[in-house]
Amino acid sequence: MSVTEADVRRIAKLARLRLSDDEVSRYGGQLSKILEAMAELGALDTSGVPATSSVTGAVNEPRADEPRPFPDRERLLDNAPEREGPYFKVRKVLE
Amino acid sequence: MTKYEMVVGLEVHCQLATRTKLFCGCGTDGYGETPNSRICPVCTAQPGSLPVLNAKAVELAFRAALALECRLNPVSVFARKNYFYPDLPKAYQISQYDKPFSEHGRLRLSEGGKTVGITRIHLEEDAGKLLHDLGALKIDGSLVDLNRAGVPLIEIVSEPDIRTGDEAHAYLAALKEVLQYVGASRCDMEKGEMRCDANVSVRPEGAQRFGTRAEIKNLNSFKNVKDAIDHEFHRQVAVVESGGRVVQETRLWDAAKGETRSMRSKEDAHDYRYFPDPDLPPLVADESLVARLKAEMPELPAARRARLTAQLGLTAYDAEVLTGDRALADFFETAAAAAPKGAAKTVANLLSTEMLARLNAESLPPSQAPIAPEHLGRLAGLVVAGTLSSKGAKDVFARMWQTRKDPVELVSELGLAQVSDDGALREWVRQAVASNPKAAADLKGGKDAAIGSLVGAVMKLSGGKANPAAVRGLIKEAVQS
Ligand SMILES: [Zn+2]
């Protein structure tokens, strides 16, 4: 399976990555190889195996609905690139 | 001229009534509180943090699904919906995609009304809130408050079964009533606990195929939903009539201008690249939990209305008023059970006039009424038995509200018991006839209306305590003799 240049640019755009032309061709090659490796798995007969979205075998491990306030929200705010008082601050978003 | 019909499906987000967020222990009570006062490493997406599912959110979501007659899927899967927006710190929203926890339900709009199909209900987390300025103060950036981020929501997607703005309104009202009844959501629209998007298309009446639909966002009241849908219908009909084509797009309702307008469509905005969230195991609908929830399911409003009209003889209107709120309906039924047979209508009257007026005036929920339902039932009993006039019942009710006392006690305390004692009544009637000879003569001469002033005279003499029905009989007797 071959990943086209257009595929790479589209994926990069969705991931908010700015790639040079060099990178586009390099990553295109790498992505193609990854997909080829995955395609080998496709050769296996899985007709008797149910589809799964999880490999750990774990199911619901819920917690009780009891508030556990985090004690150090200041650190969370300080951890952001920018803050404004009690807010996180980001570049201006319109709409 | 071609006649058109609108085809509408609604997507409604409701906040589940939990104390904590969907995947962390932060409180859900952050509305109107200090920004970012309900945040932790999980809901701010700090590296290394992991989500842990809130059991109560699952329970409430299941309750909602059962009340909407949905099938619960034995296994459902949380998926990541990927997009970049600053109100979403992980750059993905945890939602459910191809394996939602429930599907194939329905909701009846009102007694005998139409049924709207429910396509699916899924669980997901809410995003945070963005501010672009602080009041008048302009900011050189945007501000993010994550108190809402991670709050548990269910998204309820209807089938495209709705045909008018009024039906959309009725659907939302019925949905809100049911969700509140089973305690799944408070549905407080002002706090953003219930939000609605509408998919609207038009087609010539009788056509089978659906037209191209537009999704309308930003509908934050039932009235907005109805107005926006009606407006969008006319807009699309105008487009089609003028030979144009409706474009599939997202439109924003501008309530101030009363119109929808196109949102600048962002390229790739809808390529969410959903995939199963590896941080969360599949959600299995535990059989014992489901059995318990089914057993605990209360009688839903529509069924309750039908029973109250059939069993207790309430009018459809009374039943509607009383069942709109589950606590009020519970109060009514406890009161009616304490009242003698046949007094249910009187209980309903006292409730919907005296009690509701006071609850509204004092902004109290029915559960906090300073009156025991049994006492209200006994008050109705006193009216039906003729011990209290309806005016007397109002007075006693007012005292009950202030003192929380038993009405039987209050009647004797206040000396309000209606006098039905023959001797006393006859004496008042004799005096009334004697001092109103003209009225007495008119009545005797066949002018029935003349009895009013005689009854009035007796009531005055008795200080309002004479039983009016008994008095009328005695007056007729007196003038004939
Ligand atoms: Zn949190």
pLDDT tens-digit readout, B359-411: 888 888 888 888 889 888 888 888 887 777 777 788 888 888 888 888 877 77
Q: What is the domain extent for residue B197? A: 4-289
Q: Select from B143, B263, B283 the Cβ nearest to the Cβ of A89.
A: B143
Strands B275-276 and B283-284: unpaired
pTM across the whole model:
0.80
Which is more confident, B428 or B101? B101
Task: List the single range of B59-68, B164-173, B312-321 with lowest mean pLDDT.
Answer: B312-321
Shared domain for B277 and B364, answered yes or no, is no
The four Cα atoms B180, B183, B189, B192 give a dihedral, to 10 degrees, of -160
Domain spans of chain A, in order of start: 5-43
Shared domain for B121 and B172, answered yes or no, is yes
Which is more confident, B269 or B436? B436
Shared domain for B306 and B158, answered yes or no, is no
pLDDT at A95 (0 to 100): 53
pLDDT at B158 over 90: yes
Rounded to 10°, the helix B287-296/B55-67 angle is 60
- Ordered mean pLDDT values, 10 residues apiece, chain A (95 residues): 86 90 93 91 85 74 93 94 93 77
**Residue B134, domain member (yes or no):** yes
Domain boundary among B398, B414, B430: B414
What's the gap in Å between B216 CA and the centre of ligand 1? 31
pLDDT at B70 (0 to 100): 97
Shared domain for B149 and B32, answered yes or no, is yes
- Name the closest residue on chain B to residue A84, using Cα atoms: B143
Shared domain for B271 and B159, answered yes or no, is yes
**Residue B294, domain member (yes or no):** no
Give the amino acid at B359. L
Smallest CA-to-CA distance from A31 within A11, A60, A13 is with A11
Shared domain for B387 and B443, answered yes or no, is no
Shared domain for B250 and B102, answered yes or no, is yes
**Residue B185, domain member (yes or no):** yes
Backbone φ and ψ for B462, nearest 5 degrees, come out as -90, 0
What total of structural domains would you count in chain B? 3
Which is more confident, B406 or B103? B103
Tell me what the mean pLDDT of segment B155-175 comes to.
94
Q: What ipTM goes with this model?
A: 0.87
Domain boundary among B414, B440, B466: B414
Q: Which residues of A touch B132 (CB under 8 A)?
A: 92-94
How close is the nearest chain A Cα to the Cα of B280, in Å? 8
Contact (CB, 8 A) for B163 and B194: no
Strands B152-158 and B115-125: antiparallel
How close is the nearest chain B Cα to the Cα of A12, in Å? 12
Q: How far apart are CA B277 and CA B79, in angstroms?
A: 5
- Name the closest residue on chain A to residue B38, using Cα atoms: A69
How close is the nearest chain A Cα to the Cα of B250, in Å? 13
pLDDT at A32 (0 to 100): 93
Shared domain for B173 and B72, answered yes or no, is yes
Domain boundary among B374, B391, B414: B414
Shared domain for B338 and B265, answered yes or no, is no
Shared domain for B333 and B470, answered yes or no, is no
Which CATH number goes with the domain that contains B475? 1.10.10.410
